[in-house]
């Protein structure tokens, strides 16, 4: 099945923007959301110039405002004449050591990454249940496998929540026409990963990372750690080795 009409949140930069470019090149119609509407407008203009046969709808969206998420998803569905796939990608990488007086950074990350993801799932699945069809994709992180200390504690906790949500929904909807995929990317070179100080020796190039994400999305797998065997191995180690071992390198 070709999922022709695809909504992507957090599409103004990084993984979301590059996924939009990949799907546009495949002739898919796109609904793109982000807070930075000027970047969305520029992306839309470029995609239409390169692929004039597709439809690209854009909308400003703050995923922490639930009513806005429901409204914008509905409006974009109407503009595209339905939605076949929703990619829950919007996220923040801010963080500070808990208890150091910078709670605002941790609360913003938790609100965006988990509560915002839940709002998007609510809006997307309401549409999919009405259609009795659809593909929900949640972009979590390899950090969901194990709580990370220090400045990444809230980020890893929020992404663990996203991964658990994806697992729950994939079980619930397994015997329905609605598919659920949870992606757990490792370190992929983006502006957010650069500011987060991720280990450069493990960093995948953006093209490699997004190619792997799009391939997993198109296969509609239930769960995928990526890109490549390296991150599949790290995923397995973090999930199954004891804390006494993994604590040495997280």
Catalytic (active-site) positions: 155
A 10 A CB-CB count for 157 gives 19
CA 174/CA 245 separation, integer angstroms: 35
Q: Would you put residue 13 in left (φ > 0), alpha (ψ -120 to 50) or beta? A: beta
Q: Is the dihedral of CA 99, 104, 108, 114 positive or negative?
A: positive
Q: Which two tokens stand for residue 187?
A: 């370190």
Pairing state of beta strands 29-34 and 134-139? unpaired
Q: In what order do the strands lie in the sheet with 29-34?
A: 56-60, 29-34, 5-8, 85-88, 134-139, 178-185, 223-226
- CB proximity list for 197: less than 8 A, separation 6 or greater: none
Q: Which two tokens stand for residue 157?
A: 């906790």
* Residue 108 backbone phi and psi in degrees, to 5: -65, -40
Q: Which two tokens stand for residue 196?
A: 């987060």
**Which helix (DSSP H) or strand (DSSP E) does residue 43 occupy?**
helix 37-50
């Amino acid at each position: 099945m070709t999922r022709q009409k695809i909504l992507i949140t957090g599409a103004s930069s990084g993984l979301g923007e590059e996924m939009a470019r990949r799907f546009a090149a495949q002739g898919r119609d796109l609904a793109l959301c982000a807070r930075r509407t000027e970047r969305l407008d520029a992306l839309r203009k470029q995609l239409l110039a390169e692929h004039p046969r597709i439809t690209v709808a854009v909308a400003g969206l703050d995923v922490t405002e639930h009513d806005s998420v429901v409204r914008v998803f509905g409006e974009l569905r109407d503009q595209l004449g339905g939605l076949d796939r929703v990619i829950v990608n919007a996220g923040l990488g801010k963080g500070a050591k808990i208890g150091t007086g910078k709670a605002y950074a941790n609360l913003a990350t938790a609100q965006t990454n988990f509560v915002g993801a839940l709002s998007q799932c609510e809006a997307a699945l309401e549409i999919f249940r009405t259609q009795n069809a659809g593909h929900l994709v949640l972009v979590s992180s390899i950090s969901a496998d194990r709580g990370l200390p220090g400045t990444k504690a809230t980020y890893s906790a929020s992404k663990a929540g996203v991964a658990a949500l994806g697992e729950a929904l994939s079980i619930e909807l397994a015997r329905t026409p609605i598919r659920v995929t949870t992606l757990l990317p490792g370190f992929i070179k983006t502006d957010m990963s650069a500011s987060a100080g991720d280990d450069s020796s493990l960093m995948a190039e953006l093209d490699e990372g997004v190619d792997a994400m799009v391939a997993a999305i198109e296969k509609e797998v239930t769960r995928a750690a990526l890109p490549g065997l390296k991150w599949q191995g790290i995923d397995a180690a973090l999930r199954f080795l004891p804390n006494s071992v993994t604590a040495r390198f997280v």
